[in-house]
Structures are given as structure tokens and as C-alpha cells.
């Protein structure tokens, strides 16, 4: 399908990444589509944060449905899931945190996603044990480390990352990576 470039108004393919005439990125994405996408992301963040006040601040145990049926029940969560303090912090805190704190925080975020039932079946079905939770948590940690990679210029780093929140970014990355189910009404 052909659409008009949002910049130069010439006809380009709706799937084009760059306009061949003026070079603008995503020439077929107009203001309305961008706004709808932004509203979707804000809605997902609001949905995820809407019950945070009632959510525990420590990592909850993996639920019965995510524990393997053949494995013995563990009395408590493994040590690596404990002590995550970054869920409600910012990117600058993430940059300074230990790997153990980052991993435990990711486990908390994923556990909350499991509790709310927002993960895709593919990801949810992978979470059959503590080891499986650790694999997914490590992947989320890598994604957040990449997203929050510090700039060498300290002033620029502060400017770029001051307003970014760990939980919000984790949700956006989970949406982008297809971890969160897009439930249409």
C-alpha cells in the first residue's frame, strides 16, 4: 500500500523504513498512528502500575502454576531472588547497582507480570522452575543494562537517564520483545 511521506508528501510504501526522497525515518507513520502507539504504551504502564501499591515489595514466590509438577516444593525463594531494590528506582540507580541487585529486581518484575497474567503463553510456559525464572531474569537484566548503558560524558548521562524508571523501561522492553500479551477488548 502506498502512503504519503509525512515530511515531503511524496508517495512511498507503507512498509518503507526511510523515505527515498527526503530520508525521513518511518515515512508512513503519521501523527495519529504515533499517538495511538504512545497511548498503548502509556496504557500498558498504567495497567501494570495500577495495583503496585498493593503489591509486595519483596520478590513473591513463584506460583503453584509456574512450579513444575514433578519438582519438590521449595520452602522459600532462592537467595538470588532476594534483595532487589531497583523496581521503583531510576536508570541512574540501575547504573550504580550490583549485578545481584539487578537480577533480584528483574525476578521481582517478572514475578509481578506472572501474578497479573500479562505474559505471553510462550514466556509463561518457560517459567517452570526457579532455574527457568533465572534465565528469563538474566535476559531482562541484559536488556535493561543495554537500555541504561551509561554515556561517557557524565552530564549527558544524567540528562539522558534522570527521568527513566526501571519498571517503566522493563515493561516497554517486554512489550517490544513480545513478552507481554496484547489483549484486545
Alpha-carbon distance 169 to 181, whole Å? 17
| The pLDDT value given to residue 38 | 61
CA atoms within 13 A of residue 151's CA, in its CB half-sphere: 11
User: 80, 86, 78: which is closest to 57 by C-alpha?
Assistant: 86
Predicted local distance difference test score (pLDDT) of residue 36: 65
| Count of Cβ atoms closer than 10 Å to residue 35 Cβ | 10
- The reported pLDDT for the residue numbered 2 is 75
Q: Is pLDDT above 80 for 147?
A: yes
Residue 141 is predicted with a pLDDT of 96
CA angle at 66 for the pair 61 and 69, rounded to the nearest 5°: 110
C-alpha span between 174 and 10 (Å, rounded) = 35
Check pLDDT > 80 for residue 25. Answer: no
Q: Which one has a higher pLDDT value, 57 or 116? A: 116
pLDDT digits (tens, 9 = 90+) for 117-142: 999 999 999 898 899 999 999 999 99
Mean pLDDT, rounded, for 76-105: 93
Contact 41, 175 (CB under 8 A): yes
For residue 114 the three cell numbers come to 506472572
Split at pLDDT 50, 70, 90, the class of 104 is very high
The pLDDT, as a whole number, for residue 68 is 44
The pLDDT score that the predictor gives to residue 52 is 47
Average pLDDT over residues 55-75: 45
Q: How far apart are CA 122 and CA 178, in angstroms?
A: 9
Residue range 141-152: mean pLDDT, rounded: 95
Whether the pLDDT of residue 3 is over 80: the answer is no
Amino acid at each position: 500500500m502506498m502512503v504519503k511521506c509525512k515530511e515531503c508528501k511524496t508517495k512511498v510504501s507503507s512498509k518503507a523504513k526511510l523515505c527515498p526522497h527526503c530520508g525521513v525515518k518511518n515515512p508512513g507513520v503519521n501523527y495519529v498512528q504515533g499517538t495511538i502507539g504512545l497511548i498503548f504504551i502509556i496504557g500498558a504502564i498504567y495497567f501494570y502500575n495500577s495495583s503496585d501499591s498493593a503489591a509486595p515489595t519483596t520478590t513473591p514466590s513463584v506460583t503453584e502454576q509456574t512450579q513444575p509438577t514433578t519438582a519438590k516444593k521449595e520452602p522459600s525463594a532462592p537467595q538470588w531472588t532476594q534483595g532487589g531494590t531497583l523496581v521503583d528506582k531510576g536508570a541512574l540507580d540501575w547504573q550504580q547497582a550490583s549485578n545481584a541487585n539487578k537480577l533480584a529486581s528483574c525476578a521481582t518484575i517478572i514475578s509481578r507480570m506472572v501474578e497479573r497474567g500479562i505474559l505471553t503463553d510462550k514466556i509463561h510456559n518457560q517459567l517452570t522452575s526457579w532455574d527457568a525464572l533465572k534465565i528469563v531474569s538474566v535476559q531482562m537484566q541484559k536488556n535493561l543494562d543495554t537500555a541504561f548503558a551509561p554515556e561517557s560524558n557524565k552530564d549527558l548521562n544524567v540528562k539522558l537517564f534522570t527521568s527513566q524508571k526501571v519498571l517503566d523501561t522493563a515493561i516497554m522492553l517486554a512489550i517490544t520483545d513480545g513478552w507481554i500479551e496484547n489483549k484486545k477488548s
